[in-house]
Amino acid sequence: MNAQTPTVRPPIAMLAELTHRCPLSCPYCSNPVELARIDQEIDTATWKDVFRQAADLGVLQLHLSGGEPASRRDLEELVATAREAGLYTNLITSGIGLSERRLKALDEAGLDHIQLSLQGTTPEMADEIGGYNGGFKRKMQVAEWIGAIGFPLTLNAVLHRRNLHQLPRALEMAVEMGARRIEVATVQFHGWALKNRDTLMPTMEQAREADRIVTEARARLKGTLVIDYVPADYHSDYPKRCMGGWGSTGLNVTPDGKVLPCHAAESIPHLSFDRVTERSLRDIWYKGAAFNAYRGTDWMQEPCKSCERKTVDFGGCRCQAMAIVGDPNATDPVCIKSPHHGALQAQAAAHSSSEGADLVYRVSPKKTAETID
């Protein structure tokens, strides 16, 4: 690394994608189109070793995700090991697959926090979007158990053209459930979600209305509920600082053990990824080719190269530049300074005004919720 590259600090957070298996089939899923199969998933002992390595590397927060992490039968054992290693553990779940008995076992294992996803605020919307009949009712039951056990809770509402009108109710539900935080995340188009842009792209008016509702709610609910907000970036003028900057604060481990700088990094064809079964996490973080590909600012082209915001947003999202411009080194086209910004806005307007498109699911919507003890 040359003198202009900032010193690489240890990662703060690790996202462990324990499995790609999931009872839901949300059409905005950002997991890859080709999912890791169950026989490719790394085993319990390997995950435990990865958690210990992560703590040793300096990681503080472990986000256990998927797919649906409750699909892993060893979840409680993995949580216990992560806590023993000194990691703060957060379970990112749809709630489907969690029983009261399992939640109590997770509490005993030391689980620190739960992030519960919300596909909609009514059974009709939630079950249609999640592709899972009975899912909303089950989720509300799980939310009650979470409250009774006393887990700190964050609600995660993914919003898009179909359900943005439910944002005020989602905020009310967060307060009613006793959540300390809500993530209001306008859908991001990665992985499977790209197939559903015609149905899910919010209109410009919806994006502005969501901005207004969030601003008003932040003032009204100050001290009661923290609201994290991911705006509709196709309708924005500046891009988000994706992953806090590539290779700067976090890393992802896939169900089959690949270590990625962000969850969509596999969409960048020239990158190759190390595996936890072949190289230490420390070595991958500091020396891995994928992590160093877009670290810092040396890789940038114009207009980012000479822009005063280059250490604010680090040129936006590499995966979005790849998906829209076909060049992962390009300025994120969300940026008003990108030569592709106008084309992106035209695309957003076209997607958001297209009518009659059906939701495309990974698998056919399920007819009934599974029975869980």
Selection from 43, 44, 38 nearest residue 77 by Cα:
44
**If you ran DSSP here, which 8-state letter would residue 262 be given?**
S
Task: Compute the distance between CA of residue 96 and CA of residue 120 in angstroms, rounded to an integer.
Answer: 15
Q: Is residue 328 a contact residue for ligand SF4 (CB under 6 A)? A: no
Q: Which DSSP letter does residue 7 get? A: P
Minimal distance in Å, beta carbon 242 to ligand FES?
A: 3
Residue range at the interface with ligand SF4 (CB under 6 A); choices 142-150, 156-164, 207-215, 307-315: 307-315
Residue 276 backbone phi and psi in degrees, to 5 = -65, -20
Interface with ligand FES by CB under 6 A: which residues? 190, 242-243, 262, 264-265, 317-319
Q: Among ligand FES, ligand SF4, none, what binds residue 317 when CB lies within 5 to 8 Å by partner kind?
A: ligand FES
| DSSP-based three-state secondary structure for 10 | coil
Task: Report the residue number, 95 or 316, with the smaller CB distance to ligand FES.
Answer: 316
| Alpha helices per DSSP H over the chain | 44-57, 75-84, 100-109, 123-130, 135-149, 167-176, 197-200, 204-220, 281-287, 289-293, 310-313, 318-325, 341-353
34/138 Cα distance (integer angstroms): 28
Secondary structure class of 48 (helix, strand, coil):
helix
Q: Could you tell me which residues come within 8 angstroms of residue 340 by beta carbon, excluding any fewer than 6 positions away?
A: 324, 325, 330, 331, 333
Measured between alpha carbons, how far is 53 from 35 in angstroms, rounded to an integer? 25
Q: Is 121 exposed, middle or buried (0-12, 13-18, 19+ CB in 10 A)?
A: buried
Per CB under 6 A, does 131 bind ligand SF4? Answer: no
Q: How many residues bind ligand SF4 (CB under 6 A)?
A: 14
| Block residue for tokens 């670290």 | 295
Between 343 and 357, CB nearer to ligand SF4: 343
Q: Does 310 bind ligand SF4 (CB under 6 A)?
A: yes
Count CB neighbours of 62 within 10 A. Answer: 26
Rounded to whole angstroms, the Cα distance separating 68 from 135 reads 13
Strands laid side by side in the 88-93 sheet:
226-230, 181-186, 153-159, 113-118, 88-93, 61-65, 13-17, 250-253, 259-260
Nearer to ligand FES, 125 or 201 (CB): 201
239 binds ligand SF4 (CB under 6 A): yes
Find the binder of ligand SF4 among 332, 345, 348, 366 (CB under 6 A): 332
Instruction: Say whether 193 sits in a helix, a strand or coil.
Output: helix
What's the gap between Cα 359 and its chain centre? 20
- Residue of 67, 315, 328, 333 interacting with ligand SF4 (CB under 6 A): 315
Q: Which residue has the tokens 């999931």?
A: 22
181-189, 191-199, 264-272, 306-314 -> range binding ligand SF4 (CB under 6 A): 306-314
Asked if 115 and 10 touch (Cβ cutoff 8 Å), the reply is: no
Residue nearer to ligand SF4 on the CB measure, 218 or 310:
310
Does the annotation list 262 as a binding residue?
Answer: no
Cα dihedral 331, 334, 338, 340 in deg (nearest 10): 110
Under the binding rule (CB under 6 A), the answer on residue 316 touching ligand SF4 is yes
Q: Give the one residue of 19, 94, 121, 331 binding ligand SF4; rule: CB under 6 A.
A: 331
Examine residue 337 and tell whether it contacts ligand SF4 (CB under 6 A).
Answer: yes
248 touches ligand SF4 by CB under 6 A: no
Whose CB is nearest to ligand SF4? Answer: 307
In angstroms, give the least distance from the CB of 325 to ligand SF4: 12
- Return the number of the residue (92 or 330) whose C-beta is nearest ligand SF4: 330
- With binding defined as CB under 6 A, does residue 156 bind ligand SF4? no
CB of 243 to ligand FES, least distance (A): 6
Nearest to ligand SF4 of 298, 370 (CB atom) = 298
Instruction: Indicate which single residue of 178, 231, 244, 303 sits in contact with ligand SF4 (rule: CB under 6 A).
Output: 303
Contact call for residue 335 and ligand SF4 (CB under 6 A): yes
Q: Which is nearer to ligand FES, 256 or 313 (CB)?
A: 313
Binding site for ligand SF4 (CB under 6 A): 238-239, 303-304, 307, 309-310, 313, 315-316, 331-332, 335, 337
Can you say which residues are annotated as belonging to the binding site?
22, 26, 29
Annotated binding residues for [4Fe-4S] cluster, written as ranges, equal: 22, 26, 29
